[in-house]
Amino acid sequence: MSNILVAGAGGFIGGHLVKRLISDGHKITAVDLKPLENWFQLFENAKNFTLDLKDFSSCLKATKNISEIFNMACNMGGMGFIENNKAECMLSVLINTNLLRACKINQVKKYLFSSSACIYNTNLQKEPFIKGLKEEDAYPAYPEDGYGWEKLFSERMCRHFYEEFGLQTRIVRYHNVYGTYGTFDGGREKAPAAICRKVAEAKIKKLNTIEIWGDGKQTRSFLYIDDCIEGTLKLFYSNYTEPLNIGSDEQVSINQLVDIAEDISSLKLERKYLLDKPKGVRGRSSNNERLKKVLNWNYSVKLKDGIKKTYDWIYKELINNSSNTKKYTRNTDLLI
């Protein structure tokens, strides 16, 4: 049993991680910037705090008597958000910087930083259905502006804190994580959640069209949340200290993603392409060769299965919220 801090515990990945760590028997301190009532999942057998970890004094407070840290905290969202909020995304560098400084003072033993596939050189992502991105493809550096630069710089900070101060750091590069208990509207949602929501709304409201950002030919690979958590823990408790992809290599176009959601809902919608909307790089997918070699593990949830779980949850949320003023139905299994 360890005393573990999860930063960003009120968010999508953070909430699922807290649930898993509690089930594994750890003592959890859960911290997020959002008020507790806005956390996606909230557990009574964790110590839950609302703190701004961009502030150094808050980091010192949060890391006291902590042995291990999972840093999931950042200001982020889907492509529409990160392309229009570059400065705000870059301010997340203060979270990682001040948590690392606090680790040194409070003698934290191990630290995981949640990085992103957005750190990869965008010159390698100009065509659909590209080869999977390998970890070494991060350099020479030309990441997504704003969000990607913040993540890449923070990776380097983790590396140097390991080299100079002996802090055991782990760096995970997530590739488009999706699933239940996450954002699906409001502007911060990612493609799987947005498409599931749009198709579910079409079914509920008996609509016959769907809006798609771009021409639908841009490609990505998407990782279901259960695999994300499993891969994260396997990396954290391994001896591997270099950045590592945690993603799927099941690359699909946005049009194909819509096909999957339509099949699940038994709909066929007319597609309206919004060519002026943010759409990011043309193609992106994870190369999992090093993941399989280093961790002897790979993702297991196929895209169609994960999208069905996500669609079913979002559909239920939309039905429930049509007669409920609450924004989302939170995970109340262990709600305070």
Q: Tell me the backbone φ, ψ of residue 149, rounded to 5 degrees.
A: -65, -40
DSSP 264-292: HHT---EEEEETTS----SB--B--HHHH
* CA diameter of the chain: 60
Q: Which amino acid is at 83?
A: E
Question: Is 142 annotated in the active site?
Answer: no
CB-based contact 285:291 (threshold 8 Å): no
Q: Which residue, 222, 153, 149, is CA-closest to 190?
A: 222
Residue 102, classed as helix, strand or coil, is helix
Catalytic residue among 111, 147, 174, 224: 147
Q: Any idea what DSSP says for residue 92?
A: T
Question: Other CB atoms closer than 10 Å to residue 139's CB: what's the count?
Answer: 11
* Beta-carbon count within 10 A of 314 CB: 27
Return the DSSP state at 327.
S
Which active-site residues does the annotation give? 147
